[in-house]
Amino acid sequence: MKAVLAYSGGLDTSVILKLMQERLGAEVVTVTVDVGQKDDFKAVEEKAYKFGAVKHYHIDAKDEFADKYVSQAIKANALYEKAYPLATALSRPLIAEKLVEVAKKEGADVIAHGCTGKGNDQVRFNLGIHSLSPDTEILQPVMEWELSRDWEMEYAKRKGIPVSDKIYSIDENIWGRSIEGGILEDPMAEPPEEIFEWTVSPSLAPDEPDYITVDFENGVPTALNGEPSKLLDIILELNEKAGKHGVGRIDHIEDRTVGIKSREIYEAPAALTLIKAHYDLEKLILTKWVLEFKELVDSKWSWLVYTGLWFEPLREALDAFINEVEGNINGTVKVKLWKGNAIVVGRESENALYSKELATYEKFSTFDQKLAKGFIDLFGLQSVLAHNLKTVPKVSNLEGAKILAKKVS
Ligand code: ARG
């Protein structure tokens, strides 16, 4: 039996790598997909071979992740439950695709991963793999073989697999870092400072703000401070720049797809800054009707991605709507990074619906104020009538209608 294993080099996947050989006699091909996690990939590869991989694939998918997944998330202002920028969720369908590619190339009919049965990642991986390759069997050893952490530690010691005494469960890629477990499982406990790696505490952030500008084309960032760059580089630079000002910490009570409520801490400096800037530019450019409707689309899109339904036709249909609308989102946004905040302080676009001539309180305004009166009467017609019927003594429906008709005419 030949199997492909999604391999991070951590305790779970190293134990699984060994166990699959022992229990199933499997030839295991390991795959590590680089989506921007700050790992020592050379060490991961060495570990894979040391514990018996017949072949190891290291796939650098950072640009693909930025250009195909994160760019779409920016266009969708994607925040699950208004809070989580979906870093892990976005990476899973891409990793699933890479696993399937390697499985095809290697003639493997099984794909294994180290997810438990309690999280979201199993849903995302499994639905991704099933969608792309219905004949591939999925092996989920931590769940199927009921591997507990204690048992794994003991087994690892016996097999010479290095174990660390890490308290937290961490996942990271270019779009963010998630921290779960330990004291964080008490939702009342404030996150200890030591869990943060990408952001400084806002109270220790510089007193002086930094100002940045982001240029958008078709809804996607194309330049930082006027300097054209590919999306990946803009994200990496902003993670540094905004993280330095304490921007990007999120403390979120989250509804997992499998029903559990969990307490999640995230660091996502670039994600929060770019989504904020992007949404602000949309408000300058889009009609209020499109904005109102797009909010529904954005939240549904985020839900689909979170719950692992990336390959669902509805996601593609929503993307078609989003891409149509985003064709107009060109312009520049100015953001102030300061003491834990990314504050939009300016925006401009050739497509702006904002018009100073209309909006100004100065005399030169082109807005015809007299039109407002009739508009207001019609706009509030039913609401005023309903309120009058309830509160003004002896106004009948008929009388009320007459009074209003007179007013309006
Ligand atoms: N709660 C986040 C999500 O579901 C983060 C999950 C982190 N995954 C992990 N294997 N540690 O997307």
What does the block give as tokens for 231?
């999306």
Residues 64 and 87 in one domain: yes
Find the CATH number of the domain harbouring 278: 3.90.1260.10
Q: What is the 245 CA–ligand 1 centroid distance (Å)?
A: 25
Q: Is the CB of 264 under 6 A from ligand 1?
A: yes
Residues 80 and 176 in one domain: no
Q: Using the atom order of ligand 1, give the atom closest to the CA of residue 89.
A: 12
Which of 130-139, 223-232, 363-372 has the weakest average pLDDT?
363-372
> Which residue do the tokens 């209608």 mark?
401
Closest CA to 195 of 104, 264, 284, 121: 264
Residues 154 and 69 in one domain: yes
What does the block give as tokens for 115?
């997810």
Residues 246 and 360 in one domain: no
Cite the active site residues: 12, 92, 121, 169
Report how far residue 271's alpha carbon sits from residue 78's, in angstroms, rounded to the nearest whole number.
9
Alpha carbon nearest to ligand 1 atom 7, residue: 171
Q: Is the CB of 299 under 6 A from ligand 1?
A: no
What is the per-residue pLDDT for 296? 98
Q: Is the CB of 199 under 6 A from ligand 1?
A: no
Residues 22 and 113 in one domain: yes
Residues 187 and 320 in one domain: yes
Residues 184 and 328 in one domain: yes
What is the per-residue pLDDT for 317? 98
Q: Is the CB of 89 under 6 A from ligand 1?
A: yes
What is the total count of domains within the chain?
A: 3
For the stretch 349-361, pLDDT in tens is 999 999 999 999 9
The answer to whether residue 73 scores a pLDDT higher than 70 is yes
Q: What is the 189 CA–ligand 1 centroid distance (Å)?
A: 20
Q: Using the atom order of ligand 1, give the atom closest to the CA of residue 254.
A: 1
The answer to whether residue 253 scores a pLDDT higher than 80 is yes
Closest CA to 265 of 173, 188, 180: 180
> Which residue do the tokens 């006027």 mark?
226
Closest CA to 252 of 91, 92, 82: 82
Residues 326 and 181 in one domain: yes
Q: Which of 348, 375, 392 is the last residue of a domain?
A: 348
Ligand 1 mutation pick, 88, 116, 262, max ligand atoms within 8 A of CB: 88
**pLDDT, averaged across the chain:** 96
At position 138, the amino acid (one-letter code) is I
Closest CA to 197 of 244, 238, 241, 252: 244
Q: What is the 280 CA–ligand 1 centroid distance (Å)?
A: 28
Q: Is the CB of 122 under 6 A from ligand 1?
A: no
What is the per-residue pLDDT for 320? 98
Report how far residue 290's alpha carbon sits from residue 278's, in angstroms, rounded to the nearest whole number.
15
What is the per-residue pLDDT for 248? 98
Confidence grade of residue 409 (pLDDT, cut at 50, 70, 90): low
Q: What is the 84 CA–ligand 1 centroid distance (Å)?
A: 10
Residues 10 and 64 in one domain: yes
Residues 189 and 336 in one domain: yes
For the stretch 322-355, pLDDT in tens is 999 999 999 999 999 999 999 999 999 999 999 9
Confidence grade of residue 179 (pLDDT, cut at 50, 70, 90): very high
Alpha carbon nearest to ligand 1 atom 8, residue: 171
Neighbours of 288 (CB within 10 A): 9
Q: What is the 257 CA–ligand 1 centroid distance (Å)?
A: 11
Residues 191 and 283 in one domain: yes
Q: Which of 330, 348, 366 is the last residue of a domain?
A: 348
For the stretch 109-144, pLDDT in tens is 999 999 999 999 999 999 999 999 999 999 999 999
Q: Is the CB of 282 under 6 A from ligand 1?
A: no
At position 250, the amino acid (one-letter code) is I
Which 3 state secondary structure label does DSSP give 334?
Answer: strand
Q: Is the CB of 27 under 6 A from ligand 1?
A: no
Residues 136 and 235 in one domain: no
Q: Is the CB of 120 under 6 A from ligand 1?
A: yes
Tell me the residue range of the domain where 388 lies.
356-408
Consecutive H or E run containing 70:
none
The answer to whether residue 394 scores a pLDDT higher than 80 is no
Q: Which of 151, 168, 185 is the last residue of a domain?
A: 168
Which of the two residues, 361 and 404, has the higher pLDDT score?
A: 361
Confidence grade of residue 408 (pLDDT, cut at 50, 70, 90): low
